[in-house]
Amino acid sequence: MLQNSSKRELKKISIIVSMFNEEDVILLFWNTLNLVLEEIQYEREVIFVNDGSVDNSRIIINDICAKHTHVKNIHFSKNFGHEAAMLAGIDKSTGDVIICLDADLQHPPDKIFAMIKAYNDGYDIVNMVRKERHDGGLYKRLTSKVFYFMLNKISPIKFEQNASDFFMISKRVANILKSEYRERARFIRGFIQSVGFKKTTIEFTANARIGGKSKYSFFKLLILSTVAIVSFSKIPLYLGLLMGIICSVFSLIVGIYSIVMRIFGNVPPGYTTTVVLISVLFAVQFFLIGIIGVYIGYLFDENKKRPIYIIDEDDSNY
Ligand code: UDP
Ligand code: MG
């Protein structure tokens, strides 16, 4: 798994494209990609992952595959989602550099040159960041901003704003994704940003889709955002502790106030006991929920089985 970054040599690149009902765009995408690949001197493979399309995508990519030996196809039995499709492509990849991009040409294939250059300059990860987007308008821009703002506030890892599923990883990062990070709920963009290594960002303009419709419904995006937050932050689990602290302070104030009122004021019988009991019990309950949250957080970490450490270089002499 170890690969010394200073000694690595680029022989082969892998391009991974996941598709869900993309019959309208595949051929145009393929032709555009080929214009780029023709100018690259490295050995290459293109892996099409058909994520359970129910249109003619399967036939079209089978046809491309039959004509080109460097094209590989994976057909899922049903729609498993973009994240699963990217991971399947990464699992099958054999290149020194692995590039994921969308089939709708929103991720311009000519950026592949810059990504390869970054690899040759010693980078293991290239996060492609949207500079401008002509897709989805204000709504997508705004939701993406809010999402990354929130995620960065509550996660110990700092995520690149406007990062996308357009990225390059080196073979050693791909090997980590192949053997570790095998979680059921995945946020690959997040995994890539959290493994360390030398990384850089390259900006790109996300154009409008060349055809077909977006496959990411509001609901799918909501699920992906939830997965990202849950798998990179334990803060929501600790809300119980926070509420416990707030309630304790509140119960102390209410308690003192009620006792003072009981002594000096005219309060109905049982009032003080009721108020003090309710506020103290709420504080205790929230604390207990918070403590359970802490344990669940650790259980969750154990369950995810993320690597305890990742070695960049090991210079020991055996
Ligand atoms: N995609 C996929 N499975 C899905 C949803 C999308 O493989 O369940 C693919 C889709 O075919 C495209 C890429 O993921 O190649 C990005 O999807 P889309 O363009 O619909 O998302 P958007 O750009 O609108 O966020
Ligand atoms: Mg798109």
SS percent in the chain: helix, strand, coil, step 5: 50, 15, 35
* pLDDT tens per residue across span 270-312: 877 888 888 889 999 999 999 999 999 999 999 898 988 888 8
pLDDT of residue 2: 44
Mean residue pLDDT of the chain comes to 90
Average pLDDT for 84-111: 96
How far, in Å, is the centroid of ligand 2 from the Cα of 146? Answer: 19
pLDDT of residue 3: 47
pTM: 0.85
Q: Using CA atoms, how far apart are residues 103 and 74, in angstroms rounded to an integer?
A: 15
Structure tokens at 279: 């506020």
Instruction: Write the CA distances from 182 to 11, 90, 126, 284, integer angstroms.
Output: 27, 12, 21, 37
* pLDDT tens per residue across span 144-197: 888 888 899 999 888 888 888 999 999 999 999 999 999 888 899 999 999 999
pLDDT at 67 over 50: yes
pLDDT of residue 254: 85
Q: Using CA atoms, how far apart are residues 86 and 51, in angstroms rounded to an integer?
A: 10
pLDDT of residue 7: 64
CA 288 to chain CA centroid, nearest Å: 31
Ligand nearest to the CA of 51: 1
Domain spans of the chain?
11-233+307-314, 235-304
How far, in Å, is the centroid of ligand 1 from the Cα of 53? Answer: 11
Q: Using CA atoms, how far apart are residues 142 and 133, in angstroms rounded to an integer?
A: 11
Q: Using CA atoms, how far apart are residues 50 and 317, in angstroms rounded to an integer?
A: 46
In the chain, count of helices (H) and strands (E)? Answer: 10, 7
Q: Using CA atoms, how far apart are residues 229 and 236, in angstroms rounded to an integer?
A: 9
The answer to whether the CB of 214 is under 6 A from ligand 1 is yes
User: In terms of Cα–Cα distance, which of 239, 238, 237, 249 is closest to 283?
Assistant: 249
pLDDT of residue 132: 76
Ligand nearest to the CA of 213: 1
Domain 11-233+307-314: homologous superfamily in CATH: Spore Coat Polysaccharide Biosynthesis Protein SpsA; Chain A (3.90.550.10)
Instruction: Write the CA distances from 64 to 34, 70, 269, integer angstroms.
Output: 12, 10, 84
Average pLDDT for 212-235: 88
Q: Using CA atoms, how far apart are residues 249 and 31, in angstroms rounded to an integer?
A: 66
Ligand 1 pocket test: which of 58, 82, 205 has the largest number of ligand atoms within 8 Å of its C-beta? 82
Instruction: Indicate the residue type of 125.
Output: I
**Count of beta carbons in the 10 Å neighbourhood of residue 48:** 28
How far, in Å, is the centroid of ligand 2 from the Cα of 102? Answer: 6
* pLDDT tens per residue across span 117-146: 999 999 999 999 988 777 667 777 788 888
DSSP-based three-state secondary structure for 144: helix
